[in-house]
Amino acid sequence: MSDTNGVINALTIDVEDYFQVSAFSRHVSRAEWDHLPCRIEQNIDILLGLLERQHTKATFFTLGWIAERYPTTVRRIVAAGHELASHGYSHRKATDQQPAQFLSDIRLAKTILEDISGVEVKGYRAPSFSVGPANRWAFDCIGKAGYRYSSSVYPIRHDHYGMPGAPRFPFESHPGLMEVPITTSRLLNTNLPAGGGGYFRLLPYALSRWLIRRVNHLDQKPAVFYFHPWELDPEQPRVSGISAKTRFRHYVNLKHTERRLRRLLTDFKWDRVDRVFLAQP
């Protein structure tokens, strides 16, 4: 039984492989990416099957780097009725780039994804939600690159990302560009993360369900939830040399993600970001 107060939420997937996550960037160089065993094809297969069985469509924020190497996977995502969106080309955080560099990275990703898929790519998500008060110029670049929306802000406090003062619900970040933040639930003057990430794997599922219900019922708004294909893959090769904290965050409860996602997709209604938020998808 779904219990979403009639609200349809937005389900999003950041399409990158296990070795491309920002927390590993000091341990796995970009030169190594081409030589590591890639798990993206099989993990996207598992995910597409899961979404089909749950009759759910989602938005896939895909890296240009992945799309170039796995064009068939990109086309399968589109053929299954999901929205193809951009996660940039090289998975460099916006905060680690100059505006010109950032603009060319997100333009390149849009071109590659559109050439492969033949559909317009409307949405962009910055790696590690790396748009914040210090680099508002990034919104101008995202608009200039021709995107219609961005989902690059997580309005929480976190050691690696977050823009705690940002609006919790969609706002115009640049003329003609809508920012669709990851969902938080407001409790005791604090924004609690309710839109996925390590929290979804670390904490009991019932907490995620309670937080999303609060957003659907109290705020009467759609939630935006995200996860990665590698979070469904307990067999992924282990990256060595990382800190205990990073290891814990990346590997905790991987074997439970698929079951939890099935519950999440059953308990709430979900659709693509463009259909949930854009007036004219």
Q: Which is nearer to Zn ion, 127 or 196 (CB)?
A: 127
Q: Judged by CB under 5 A, which stretch of 36-44, 104-112, 125-133, 188-196 contacts Zn ion?
A: 125-133
233: its two tokens? 């893959």
14 binding Zn ion? (CB under 5 A): yes
- Least distance CB 63 / Zn ion (angstroms): 7
From 105-113, 126-134, 155-163, 172-180, give the range in contact with Zn ion by CB under 5 A: 126-134
In terms of Cβ atoms closer than 10 Å to its own Cβ (0-12, 13-18, 19+), residue 151 is buried
For Zn ion, give the closer residue by CB, 154 or 268: 154
Question: Among 16-24, 109-117, 133-141, 271-279, which window interacts with Zn ion (CB under 5 A)?
Answer: 16-24
Written as one letter, the residue type at 148 is R
Cβ pair 76, 28 in contact under 8 A: no
Q: From 9-17, 38-46, 175-183, 272-280, give the range in contact with Zn ion by CB under 5 A.
A: 9-17
Q: Closer to Zn ion by CB, 87 or 213: give it.
A: 87
Give me the least distance between CB of 225 and Zn ion, in Å please: 15
CA 181 – CA 71 distance, rounded (Å)? 28
CB closer to Zn ion, 127 vs 162: 127
**Contacts with Zn ion, 104-123, as mask; x by CB under 5 A:** --------------------
- Is 127 near Zn ion (CB under 5 A)? yes
Rounded CA gap, 21 and 266, in Å?
A: 28
Return the number of the residue (14 or 105) whose C-beta is nearest Zn ion: 14
Beta bridge partners of 5: none
Minimum Å gap between C-beta 87 and Zn ion is: 6
The first and second tokens of residue 256, run together, are 């439970």
User: Is 170 in contact with 178 (CB distance < 8 Å)?
Assistant: yes
Q: Is 155 in the site for Zn ion (CB under 5 A)?
A: no
DSSP alpha helix (H) spans, the chain: 30-33, 40-53, 64-69, 71-79, 99-117, 137-144, 198-202, 205-214, 244-251, 257-267, 273-277
Number of Cβ within 10 Å of residue 4's Cβ equals 18
For Zn ion, the closer CB: 7 or 106: 106
* Residue number with CB closer to Zn ion (127 or 216): 127
Q: What type of residue sits at position 120?
A: E
- Cβ 91 to Zn ion shortest distance, Å: 6
Sign of the torsion formed by the C-alpha atoms of 99, 104, 105 and 110: positive
- Residues near Zn ion, by CB under 5 A: 14, 16, 127
